[in-house]
Amino acid sequence: MRFTSQTSSDGVTEQLFTLPFTFGEIPGVLWTPDGAAGPRSLILMGHGGGQHKMAPGIVARARRFAVECGFAVVAVDAPAHGDRPRSAEFDRVTAELRTRMQTGQEATPVYAEFHALLAAQSVPEWRAVVDAVQEVDHVGTGRVGYWGLSMGCGLGVPFVAAEPRVRAAVLGLNGAETSAEAAAQITVPVEFLVQWDDEKVPRGASLALFDRFASAEKTLHANPGKHVEVPMFEVDSTLRFFARHLS
Amino acid sequence: MRFTSQTSSDGVTEQLFTLPFTFGEIPGVLWTPDGAAGPRSLILMGHGGGQHKMAPGIVARARRFAVECGFAVVAVDAPAHGDRPRSAEFDRVTAELRTRMQTGQEATPVYAEFHALLAAQSVPEWRAVVDAVQEVDHVGTGRVGYWGLSMGCGLGVPFVAAEPRVRAAVLGLNGAETSAEAAAQITVPVEFLVQWDDEKVPRGASLALFDRFASAEKTLHANPGKHVEVPMFEVDSTLRFFARHLS
- Residue B208: pLDDT band (50, 70, 90) is very high
Q: Is residue B98 part of a domain?
A: no
pLDDT for the residue A219? 98
Spatial separation of the C-alpha atoms in residues B176 and A175, rounded to whole Å: 25
Q: Is the dihedral of CA A57, A63, A69, A73 positive or negative?
A: positive
Q: Which runs of consecutive H residues, i.e. helices, occur in A134-179?
A: 151-154, 156-162
Q: Is residue B117 part of a domain?
A: no
Question: φ and ψ at A143, to 5 degrees?
Answer: -75, 155
Residue A101 has pLDDT above 90, yes or no: no
Question: Looking at this predicted complex, what is its ipTM?
Answer: 0.87
Spatial separation of the C-alpha atoms in residues A86 and A173, rounded to whole Å: 24
Q: Is residue B63 part of a domain?
A: yes
Q: How far is B216 from chain A (nearest CA, A)?
A: 7
Residue A109 has pLDDT above 90, yes or no: no
- Residue A23: pLDDT band (50, 70, 90) is confident
The structural domain count of chain B equals 1
Spatial separation of the C-alpha atoms in residues B156 and B168, rounded to whole Å: 12
pLDDT for the residue A22? 87
Q: Is residue B116 part of a domain?
A: no
Q: Is residue B214 part of a domain?
A: yes
Nearest CB to A221; choose among B221, B224, B231: B221
Residue in A with minimal Cα distance to B222: A220
pTM tops 0.95, yes or no: no
pLDDT for the residue A178? 81
Q: Is residue B105 part of a domain?
A: no
Q: Is the dihedral of CA B23, B28, B32, B34 positive or negative?
A: positive
Nearest CB to B222; choose among A217, A219, A236: A219
Residue in B with minimal Cα distance to A241: B233
Contact assignment for A217 to B231 by CB distance below 8 Å: yes
pLDDT for the residue B223? 98
Mean pLDDT of chain B: 96
Contact A179, A157 (CB under 8 A): yes
Spatial separation of the C-alpha atoms in residues A16 and A74, rounded to whole Å: 10
Q: Is residue B175 part of a domain?
A: yes
pLDDT tens, B95-149? 999 999 899 888 888 988 999 999 999 999 999 999 999 999 999 999 999 999 9
Q: Which residues of B touch A222 (CB under 8 A)?
A: 210, 219-220, 222
Q: Which residues of A touch B233 (CB under 8 A)?
A: 219, 244
Spatial separation of the C-alpha atoms in residues A177 and A94, rounded to whole Å: 17
What are residue A144's DSSP bridge partners?
A42, A166
pLDDT for the residue B83? 94
**Domain span at residue A163?**
2-246
Contact assignment for A223 to B220 by CB distance below 8 Å: yes
Residue from B233, B241, B242, B247 whose CB has the most chain A CBs within 10 Å, to mutate? B233
Residue A106 has pLDDT above 90, yes or no: no
Contact B28, B85 (CB under 8 A): no
Q: Which residues of A touch B220 (CB under 8 A)?
A: 194, 196, 220-223
Q: What is the CATH number of the domain that holds B223?
A: 3.40.50.1820
Mean pLDDT of chain A: 96
HSE-up of residue B203 (Cα within 13 Å, Cβ side): 13
Burial code (b: 16+ CB inside 10 Å, e: under 16) for B104-128 equals eeebbebbbbbbebbbebbbebbeb
A-B contacts at Cβ under 8 angstroms = 49
Burial code (b: 16+ CB inside 10 Å, e: under 16) for A8-24 equals eeeebbbbbbbbebeee
Q: How far is CA A184 from the centre of its chain?
A: 18
Strands, E assignment, chain A: 2-9, 12-21, 24-33, 42-46, 72-76, 144-149, 166-172, 190-195, 218-223
pLDDT tens, A63-95? 999 999 999 999 999 999 999 999 999 999 999
**Count of other CB atoms within 10 angstroms of residue A247:** 12
pLDDT for the residue B43? 98
Identify the three-state secondary structure at position B100.
helix
Helix, strand, coil fractions of chain A, as percent rounded to 5: 40, 25, 35
Q: Is residue B161 part of a domain?
A: yes
